[in-house]
């Protein structure tokens, strides 16, 4: 089964969406050609995997299901949310796989991703465990997520030297206003035919165009709830998004469609993940898959970024691929 270019990110299932809403979105996605679903044990405050189990009853054979291991949630002393990197030894990985199989109600995981790089455990040991799990039929392919340039290079070196099962995918932050991954990661993936899964495709909602400098944050938006997002809402960034929104409007498209079409038109992206809260948002994202931007249109977008003096900023973001 080939993965759909638009994938469904399950981060919100169990937090912003209840079971009924989750099931409705999952079914609508599948019926409209979206067959890649990405989750993790910590998503949805621990609810995402069981919510998906319920939503996928009768549909499991129609999807490529991805989950992860390697990050554990922590609550800091000030009450804020964070993550810590787990020790990726055999016992932890096997326990994580078994728990996800149970939570998801499935006999196998299509894509099992290492959620972060663990420098405390030899990568050779981690890969041996994953190879055994493939041989046992519990996982079918291996990927990595949140790796920086140094970590990705280390992983590839170990795989090449020891002849381990190759990585099928790399998942990273990448979008039209955060392009660092293109320089540091995506080129290597192209050379090795490693699929790139893009999360934060809409820059945490910034690329929806709903935030405008000097205006109140929309009620109920992620920006209104998250300090981390508000720190990204600089005047330069928001003015750029409004310029891109105007450009998309001249093509009778939304800025969301433009952002996703940009990712899927010559950027080396296999799957662009979208986290949606309703069917209307999902339909907008699905429409983007039918819009292929030509070289001329991609060049126009580059010129907008350059004209606004933001090329250096765009090419250096995100500052880090793993936010703790």
Residue at 109 is within a domain: yes
pLDDT band at 91 (very low <50, low <70, confident <90, very high): very high
Total domains in the chain come to: 1
Residue at 113 is within a domain: yes
How much of the chain, in percent, has pLDDT values that exceed 70? 98
Cα separation, 161 vs 159, in Å, equals: 6
Residue at 214 is within a domain: no
Residue at 304 is within a domain: no
Residue at 264 is within a domain: yes
For residue 232, pLDDT over 90 is answered with: no
pLDDT at 230: 80
Cα separation, 171 vs 273, in Å, equals: 10
Cα separation, 314 vs 215, in Å, equals: 23
| Angle formed by the axes of helices 295-307 and 255-263, nearest 10° | 110
Question: How many helices, marked H, and strands, marked E, lie in the chain?
Answer: 14, 10
Residue at 262 is within a domain: yes
Task: Residue 101: give its domain's CATH number.
Answer: 3.20.20.100
pLDDT at 139: 98
What would the pLDDT profile of 109-134 be if each residue is shown by its tens digit?
A: 999 999 999 999 999 999 999 999 99
Residues ≥6 apart with Cβ < 8 Å to 302: none
Read off the pLDDT of each residue in 46-65 and give the average, rounded to a whole number. 98
Sort 20 into a burial class: Cβ within 10 Å, 0-12 / 13-18 / 19+: exposed
Cα separation, 285 vs 242, in Å, equals: 19
pLDDT at 224: 63
What does the DSSP 8-state code read for residue 9? E
Mean pLDDT over each residue of the chain, to the nearest integer: 94
Domain extent, residue 149, equals 6-205+257-292
Cα separation, 195 vs 186, in Å, equals: 9
pTM of the model as a whole: 0.95
What would the pLDDT profile of 8-36 be if each residue is shown by its tens digit?
A: 999 999 999 999 999 999 999 999 999 99
Residue at 101 is within a domain: yes
- Does residue 305 contact residue 240 with C-beta atoms inside 8 Å? yes
Residue at 275 is within a domain: yes
- Please provide residue 116's backbone torsions phi and psi, each rounded to the nearest 5 degrees: -165, 160
Token code pair at residue 79: 């009450």
For residue 223, pLDDT over 70 is answered with: no
């Amino acid at each position: 089964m080939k993965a759909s270019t638009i994938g469904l990110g399950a981060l919100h299932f169990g937090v912003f969406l209840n079971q009924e809403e989750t099931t409705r979105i999952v079914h609508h996605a599948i019926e409209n050609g979206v067959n890649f679903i990405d989750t993790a044990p910590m998503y949805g405050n621990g609810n995402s995997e069981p919510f998906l189990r319920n939503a996928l009853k009768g549909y499991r054979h129609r999807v490529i299901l991805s989950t992860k291991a390697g990050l554990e949630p922590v609550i800091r002393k000030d009450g804020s949310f964070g993550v810590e990197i787990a020790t990726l030894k055999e016992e932890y990985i096997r326990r994580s796989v078994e728990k996800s199989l149970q939570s998801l109600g499935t006999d196998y995981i299509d894509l099992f991703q290492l959620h972060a790089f663990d420098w405390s455990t030899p990568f050779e040991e981690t890969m041996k465990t994953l190879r055994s799990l493939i041989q046992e039929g519990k996982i079918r392919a291996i990927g990595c997520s949140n790796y920086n340039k140094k970590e990705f290079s280390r992983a590839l070196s170990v795989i090449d030297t020891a002849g381990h099962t190759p990585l099928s995918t790399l998942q990273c932050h990448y979008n039209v206003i955060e392009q660092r991954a293109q320089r540091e990661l995506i080129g290597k993936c192209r050379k090795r035919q490693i699929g790139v899964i893009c999360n934060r495709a809409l820059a945490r909602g910034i690329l929806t165009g709903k935030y405008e400098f000097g205006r109140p944050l929309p009620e109920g938006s992620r920006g209104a709830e998250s300090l981390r997002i508000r720190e990204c809402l600089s005047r330069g960034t928001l003015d750029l998004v409004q310029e891109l929104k105007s450009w998309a409007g001249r093509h009778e498209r939304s800025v969301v469609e433009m952002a996703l079409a940009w990712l899927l038109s010559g950027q080396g992206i296999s799957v662009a993940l979208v986290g949606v809260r309703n069917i209307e948002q999902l339909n907008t994202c699905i429409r983007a898959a039918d819009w292929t931007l030509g070289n001329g249109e991609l060049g126009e977008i580059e010129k907008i970024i350059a004209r606004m003096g933001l090329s250096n900023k765009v090419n250096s973001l995100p500052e880090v691929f793993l936010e703790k």
